[in-house]
Amino acid sequence: MGEERNRIDRILFLYDKLIMGDIVYKSELTTQFNVHERTIRRDIQDIKYYMARFYINRDIMYDPKVGGYRLIYSESIQLSWSRWIALSKVLLDSQLLTKAESMQFIHSVASQLDKEKHQKFIANMRANLNHYKSERQKNRMLDKVELVYQALSHKKMLYLVQENKAYTLCPVGLVYKQSHFFLAALLNEPLHKETQYSLKPVPIMIRENLSIKIDSASFTLPPSFSFDEEEFKKRCMPP
């Protein structure tokens, strides 16, 4: 039992270091955990096997330049350095996310970049978080977006509460416009009636004071319904 517990602790420790973009050195780990290098090599192979099963874009490679192992991402989705700069600045300047969510994003960026080469940029991104407004800590925006995506995927109704008013709606889309997310939703009642007109989604901006819950009820859209994202975006009015 104790040996298995130690193995799990080593693997989790290794995995965390790799995800954070650190270099893993077998010699250091053998000393830290008092095990043979073969043991560390098996641990790395276990993590490689796990990533091969669940992450098509990740792998662990030995870097002879530094003499250690690092996490790499496939070129098919790996963003260039310039694109990381643009994406990071847009996201942080918009202050769309909470401070905690932005810190998670920065950690993700750090894991993609060469730490020695881009450490000044990473430090500047972290410093920008000091300018975040305290009121943005109240509600996690990404949690709400995730709930909407879950409801869309499983055709579940959404229960919304805003300014003491409650609504039960059918989500049909989610768009992003001018630093804001908008939920495209239909009233539930018309779906159960014979209608001679096309259903028109209502735009609802996902605000901090908007409470979102997934309802247990499911819904079915008429076969004739199609969501036109471009047309819907024109009706979304950011503040």
Domain ranges of the chain: 2-73, 81-136, 141-234
Would you say 47 and 59 are in contact if contact means Cβ atoms under 8 Å apart? no
Confidence of residue 215 (pLDDT cuts 50, 70, 90): very high
Percent of the residues in the chain that have a pLDDT greater than 70, as a whole number? 77
Q: What is the pTM of this model?
A: 0.52
CA 219 to CA 199: how far, in whole Å? 14
Task: Give me the CATH topology for the region 2-73.
Answer: Arc Repressor Mutant, subunit A (1.10.10)
Lowest mean pLDDT among 24-28, 119-123, 156-160, 177-181: 119-123
pLDDT value for 114 = 63
pLDDT tens digits for range 115-162 = 666 677 777 777 777 766 644 444 577 788 888 988 988 889 999 998
**Confidence band, pLDDT 50/70/90 cuts, at residue 110:** low
The fold adopted by the segment(s) 141-234 is SH3 type barrels. (2.30.30)
Name 211's bridge partners.
161
